Amino acid sequence: MSDVFDNLVLFFEQQIELYGNDIGLILDTTIDEQQSSFSPLAWQESASLHELEQTIKTCQQCALSQARNKFVFGGGNPQADIVFVGEAPGADEDRIGLPFVGRAGDMLTKILDSIQLKRTDVYICNILKCRPPQNRDPLPDEIATCKPYLVKQLQLIQPKIIVCLGRIAAQVLLETSDSLTQLRARWFSLNEMKVMVTYHPAALLRSTGYKSATWEDMKRLRQLYDDIKGQA
């Protein structure tokens, strides 16, 4: 034990020789950073999307946080009637910090354009806020950690419609193991919100055969959106 103490004293003596009294400032900064780090409970009291993002953006509740470049919270209209929910950030999203950028993001923009909507009209986010390695499917513990953040986002936005982009987003939100084919072309209800399931934009990049089905989904989305706006 005395050897450990002696080594610790020697370490601080060396640091003081190198940095002088500034070593105290370094230690104070470290303590401040620790005290201002993520709180597992504080985010639940967030009253706005901005407050929620600021509270959870330093989350380290799962291993994905160790490799991320950017925390990808979401983006768009905080009072949107329609929320698009994807699976997880990809490489471009992890680099920039925004959802659905790059080629898949361009495709989503085109999908919105096809029904006269802009990205600023809707809100876009993912089940996970950090990128899984090599874009693998999210693991159950990662979903369990991140899903409550998404639920809180939806509570704050209070959209009328949710569009699940891809199988995993649909299965997580609807708590089902049904395939995308089984879930498409139907409306579901989730806490008074209408839920639609369609193909992920990345799937359309891989196979143009999905485009006609996606177009049919978007027409149904636009019809419901117009009906809701007409009732407002």
pLDDT tens string 45-78: 999 999 999 999 999 999 999 999 999 999 999 9
Identify the band that residue 232 occupies on the pLDDT scale cut at 50, 70 and 90.
low
Residues 185-190: what's their mean pLDDT? 96
d(CA 7, CA 122): 58
Partners of 75 in the beta sheet?
124
Given a cut of 60, whether residue 26 has pLDDT beyond it is no
pLDDT at residue 223 is higher than 50 = yes
Query: In this predicted model, what pLDDT tens digit does every residue of 83-114 receive, in sequence order?
Result: 999 999 999 999 999 999 999 999 999 999 99
More confident residue, 37 or 216: 216
Which pLDDT value is given to residue 30?
34
Q: Please, what is the average pLDDT of the chain?
A: 87
Centroid of chain to Cα 146: 8
Residue 37 — pLDDT band, cuts 50, 70, 90?
low
Q: 231: pLDDT confidence band, cut at 50, 70 and 90?
A: confident
Q: What is the pLDDT of residue 14?
A: 43
Q: What residues does each domain of the chain span? A: 61-231
CATH code for the part of the protein at 61-231: 3.40.470.10
- Is the pLDDT at 79 greater than 60? The verdict is yes
How high is the pLDDT of residue 131?
A: 97
Q: Model-level pTM?
A: 0.83
